Structures are given as C-alpha cells and as structure tokens.
Amino acid sequence: MAEEKFVVSIDLETKRQAEAVFTSFEMDLNTGISAYLAHVALTGAIPFPLAEERTFEQRMRDAVNAQILAQGKSKLPAALYDSEQNRPYIEYADGRRSYEFD
C-alpha cells in the first residue's frame, strides 16, 4: 500500500488530549489518525453527528418542549406560559388550564 505524508494544523491542547486517548489504546497519534481516516473511508461517513450550532433560544425551547412532554407522561401538572394571553398557567394531565397567577 502506497503511503503519503501530509501536514495538519491543530490546536495544541486538542492534540495532547487526542494523544492521551490514543495512548490509552496503545496507539500513537499517527496510528490513531490513520484508524480514523480508514473508518471514514470504509463507512463513507463521519463517526459522529454534525449539526449546526443552535442558539441559546433554540436549546431552551427544546428543553422546555422536552419537559412539557415528560410532564404529560407523568400525569403531573406543568407550569407553562400562554404567549397569546401573555401570562402563565398550570396545565393538568386532563388538559385543563388554570390561570392562577393573576
């Protein structure tokens, strides 16, 4: 198999951390990077998800939606906010809303 050398610029701390991981598997950095590239070539995919950076608001909205879903499954009341009426409310498992915070 023909080999080719190439130069990669990388943050020094990232390199040190990667070396520590590869060393724990008894590999040097060259072998670890070669294994990674061989995996990408074999599978035709990067072995981790690539996603766009989400804004704080997007992460918060996702967290709130996950909590709402979890609350619904647990049959416990959930404190929510009605953006149309601009006020908070409690929603019960049966779907009933109580605007008790006025």
> Which position has the higher pLDDT, 44 or 82?
44
> Which position has the higher pLDDT, 46 or 74?
46
Contact in structure between 53 and 59 (CB atoms under 8 Å): no
Chain-centroid distance, C-alpha 89: 30
Amino acid at 100: E
Contact in structure between 8 and 18 (CB atoms under 8 Å): no
The number of beta carbons lying within 10 Å of the beta carbon of residue 3 is: 5
Say how far apart CA 99 and CA 89 lie, in whole Å.
4
- Here the contacts of 20-28 (C-beta below 8 Å, separation 24 or greater) are none
pLDDT at 63 over 80: yes
Q: What's the pLDDT score for residue 27? A: 92
Say how far apart CA 28 and CA 36 lie, in whole Å.
12
> Which position has the higher pLDDT, 79 or 19?
19
pLDDT at 101 over 70: no
> Which position has the higher pLDDT, 10 or 49?
10
pLDDT-derived band at 35, boundaries 50, 70, 90: very high
pLDDT at 45 over 60: yes
